Structure formats: structure tokens, C-alpha cells
């Protein structure tokens, strides 16, 4: 099993409701990409200064499933149309468990 963890910091000029809109897009990904074994995401609770705005944790059966997810047209469209225009920073890692 492979776990993918990614954090997003949105640009200062991201529109009001951007996190909610991204969450809707992430929900769509979770439902439309069969290679995802488990998928969770959420907005930062604001408990510590300097945190990122939104996080995603996704699990896949293997590296091949992860790559199919990354290359999936729905994922690519989400990145291109929703995330990238308002993204300031992204950090990610993948590990086996």
C-alpha cells in the first residue's frame, strides 16, 4: 500500500470560498478515480500559525495505481482548472505502509 500526503497553501488573492470549491473538486476525484483505495481531505483548523490551508491523504494499492491517479484526466483537469490558478505552495510525500 502507498500513502500520498499533500498540503496546499493558497495564494493571497484566492477568492472567498476557494477551499470549499477545491473540496468539492476533491470529492469528485474521490468518486471518479477507481485507483483510489481511501481518500480524505480537509481545511486546516487554524490551530497553529503558518499551517497550510488544505490537506489531502490518499491511499493506493501500489505505485502503479498512484501513477494512474496522477495521470488520470479528471485529476489533471482539477489541477489545471481549479488548483493551479490559486496555488501558492505545495508540499507532498509518498510512503509505503
How large is the average pLDDT for residues 67-77? Answer: 98
Q: Reduced to 3 states, what is the DSSP secondary structure of residue 36?
A: coil
Give the separation between CA 72 and CA 37, rounded to whole angstroms. 15
How large is the average pLDDT for residues 60-70? Answer: 98
The band of 59, judged by pLDDT with boundaries at 50, 70 and 90, is very high
Domain total in the chain: 1
The β-bridge partners of 95 are: 3
What value does the mean pLDDT of the chain take? 97
φ and ψ at 5, to 5 degrees? -120, 130
Residue 62 in contact with residue 83, Cβ under 8 Å? no
How large is the average pLDDT for residues 44-59? Answer: 97
Show Cβ contacts of residue 50 under 8 Å, excluding neighbours closer than 6 positions: none
How large is the average pLDDT for residues 74-88? Answer: 98
Share of residues in the chain with pLDDT > 90 (%): 100
Q: Can you give the pLDDT at residue 86?
A: 98
Q: Where are the alpha helices (DSSP H) in the chain?
A: 18-32, 63-71, 73-78
How large is the average pLDDT for residues 55-67? Answer: 98
Residue-number span of the structural domain to which 77 is assigned: 2-96
**The CATH number of the domain where 12 resides is what?**
3.30.70.100
Amino acid at each position: 500500500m502507498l500513502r500520498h500526503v499533500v498540503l496546499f497553501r493558497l495564494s493571497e488573492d484566492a477568492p472567498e470560498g476557494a477551499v470549499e470549491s477545491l473540496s468539492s473538486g476533491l470529492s469528485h476525484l474521490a468518486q471518479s478515480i477507481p485507483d483510489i483505495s481511501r481518500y480524505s481531505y480537509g481545511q486546516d483548523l487554524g490551530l497553529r500559525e503558518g499551517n497550510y490551508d488544505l490537506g489531502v491523504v490518499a491511499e493506493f494499492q501500489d505505485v502503479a495505481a498512484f501513477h494512474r491517479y496522477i495521470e488520470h484526466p479528471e485529476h489533471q483537469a482539477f489541477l489545471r482548472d481549479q488548483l493551479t490558478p490559486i496555488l501558492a505552495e505545495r508540499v507532498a510525500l509518498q510512503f509505503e505502509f
